[in-house]
Structure 1
Amino acid sequence: MVTEKIVDDEKRIDRAAYVLKAVAHPLRIKIIHMLNENEELNVSAIYKNLNAEQSLISHHLINMRDKGILDIRRSGKNIYYFLIDKAVANIIHCIYESKLM
């Protein structure tokens, strides 16, 4: 039925808007790019590479994890972050390469 499809599409559109809002920050876009290039990284590698405060990077990582964009893998005392779905990185890449830039 058409109504069910519209409702399903609305849920998908709402999720897309939620994800785009969650990554709409220059540091978050840089983190996503780094994780897309490196599969997984720990907080130290990320904040050193971005020349940013560790607490600020941790805040962004936790926020993106809470929103389902990133996840973690523990190895001893280290926590490694990785992208759950590469689609987010692909979207950012498409925008970066578009005529909008």
Structure 2
Amino acid sequence: MTSLMERISEEELNKASNILKVIAHPVRMCIVDLLRDNNRLSVVELQGLLNLEQPIASQHLTLMQDKGILRSERVGKNRFYSLAKTDLTRVVDCIEHCLGGSK
């Protein structure tokens, strides 16, 4: 049997750890989930869906974009976000499954 450290380089494990640290926040997990279901959403839409004030939403979105989890696109006066790493939705699915599923 081989260990994870034998199958994945230390550099890749560190990248994975850093990504998991970023999405290990309830709001950011919800952002990943919403973007899976909606493909792309504007800052205003995300604020409304998550009941967040604009500065808080922007902080979360900026962090996630800086870490390569999200990509953004400006269309007119609006900024739209989508998942750059769509496989992260599987992490959210796994967490939901491990906790017993939906309400």
Alignment TM class, shorter chain as reference? 0.7 to 0.9
Aligned partner of 1:46 in structure 2 is: 46
Aligned partner of 2:28 in structure 1 is: 28
Aligned partner of 1:70 in structure 2 is: 70
Structure 1 gaps of 5+ residues are none
Which range moved further: 91-100 or 57-66?
91-100
TM-score by length of 1: 0.87
Equivalences for residues 76-87 of structure 1 within 5 A: 76-87=76-87
Q: Partners of 2:27 and 2:99 in 1: how far apart?
A: 22
TM-score by length of 2: 0.85
Q: CA RMSD in A?
A: 1.9
Q: Partners of 2:96 and 2:9 in 1: how far apart?
A: 26
Superposed structure 1 runs of 4+ greater than 4 Å apart: none
Aligned partner of 2:90 in structure 1 is: 90
Q: Partners of 2:46 and 2:67 in 1: how far apart?
A: 19
More helix by share: 1
CA 1:53/1:16 → structure 2, altered by over 3 Å: closer, same or farther?
Answer: same
- Percent of aligned positions that are identical: 35
